[in-house]
Amino acid sequence: MFVLVGSSRTWQDRRIYVESWWRPNLTRGNIFLDVEPSKEFMPWSPTFPPYQVNEDLKKLRIYPKLPNPIHTRIYRSILENYRLKQDDGVRWYLTGDDDTLFFVDNIVDVLSKYDHTKKHYIGMFSETIKSNFYISFDMAFGGGGYALSYPLVEALVAKLDECVERYHFIWGVDHLQSLCLADFGVDLSLEKGFHQMDLRGDVSGFLSSHSNAPLVSFHHLGVVAPLFPGMDRNGSVLHIMKAVNVDQSRMLQQSICHVRARHWTFSVSWGYSAHVYERIFPRSYLKRPIETFRPWLRGRPPFYMFNTRPVSRDPCEAPHWFFFDSSEQENEEIVTSYTRKFPRNMNSCYFSGTISADPLASIRVFSPKTPKQGRKVECCDVEYEGADVANIRLRDCRRDEIIA
């Protein structure tokens, strides 16, 4: 059961985010708004989640003391959704904002690891140290979403307004939630696929080195730069969903190929990008995101909850960038294509001798039709069609390749 929260004022700009992943008649849930949507959205489109208008908070006796009534409205959406009595067969509640992409198949995969008959609180903290430090390291950031098992929802709704009163001085709804659940004896279970995305600017470096975990959510789409060069935000969301709808299980999963004859390394972030390095790099290096982005909050370093590598002008460290272009099915394989969007404008790396990757214009990645099973890392083999096309086939890694 999705419990989404939004605002009638921002729905015009954010509806495309929700509409891109919502599956009418398949996904269940509601989006809670502050007031009735404007006439331009009526009748309400069946491609949107059903909408509900939040209750008037002024009826709460604690209302005059609330430092952030908007967040309290958001928090109480869980209770108001429960009161709709639409929960027949529901195992999980999943909350999130209207500027977040959710990847439903991967959510099902991740939650299946847990016993839904027990009390579970599943999500992820922020990517930036300061956000966690100023609020809490022990909470799931709700913009990126978090999941509550149904027994926990039943226990929570019985005491939710009491929690609001007990912690009325807490500014952030996510922090309040973590405190309330801690009082139930339930701590956060971390899943790396939930992304608050407390980053600014170009996040391509982050997405090109995603952790080996299923991509579950992606928040702050209206704040980060468009996901693909040369596109606006809406266009980039619709574009990335072309790959998502083909095979969510591989989305952003990183595969590495070493072409030792040319001293090249290929790094593929499935469905998003491909990098070509004119040097052999180990997986341990390439799993660190290139710092194309900025932290959410200004201040002194360190900034992030993960290690990064700097943007480099060294031709032996800087990759050739290719971005997802299209997908198609050939026989028993899915073929995703990645094209070069801009020239690297550097000399060749001395490690590769005179073999430059500049002539490469596109990369085609062949992957099995069957979803990627578990958290298994995949490797690849490279073949060439002339000087301008590289064909990559994903396969299981051999032991020596994982170490290489």
Tell me the two tokens of residue 395. 């396969």
Cα–Cα distance measured from residue 212 to residue 269, given in angstroms and rounded to the nearest whole number = 11
pLDDT in tens, 118-148: 999 999 999 999 999 999 999 999 999 999 9
Domain ranges for the chain? 2-190, 248-403
Per-residue confidence (pLDDT) for residue 311, from 0 to 100 = 97
Q: Is residue 248 within 8 Å of residue 215, measured between CB atoms?
A: yes
- Taken in order 350, 355, 360, 366, the sign of the CA dihedral is negative
Per-residue confidence (pLDDT) for residue 396, from 0 to 100 = 87
Q: Does the domain made of 2-190 have the CATH classification 3.90.550.50?
A: yes
Q: Is residue 364 within 8 Å of residue 390, measured between CB atoms?
A: yes
pLDDT in tens, 268-308: 999 999 999 999 999 999 999 999 999 999 989 999 999 99
Per-residue confidence (pLDDT) for residue 370, from 0 to 100 = 83
Cα–Cα distance measured from residue 201 to residue 128, given in angstroms and rounded to the nearest whole number = 14
Q: Which CATH class for the 248-403 domain?
A: mainly beta
Per-residue confidence (pLDDT) for residue 369, from 0 to 100 = 87
pLDDT in tens, 311-352: 999 999 999 999 999 999 888 899 999 999 999 999 999 887
Give the residues of the chain that fall short of pLDDT 50: 404
Per-residue confidence (pLDDT) for residue 404, from 0 to 100 = 46
Q: What is the SS3 assignment for 329?
A: strand
Per-residue confidence (pLDDT) for residue 403, from 0 to 100 = 52
Average pLDDT of the residues of the chain: 95
Per-residue confidence (pLDDT) for residue 378, from 0 to 100 = 86
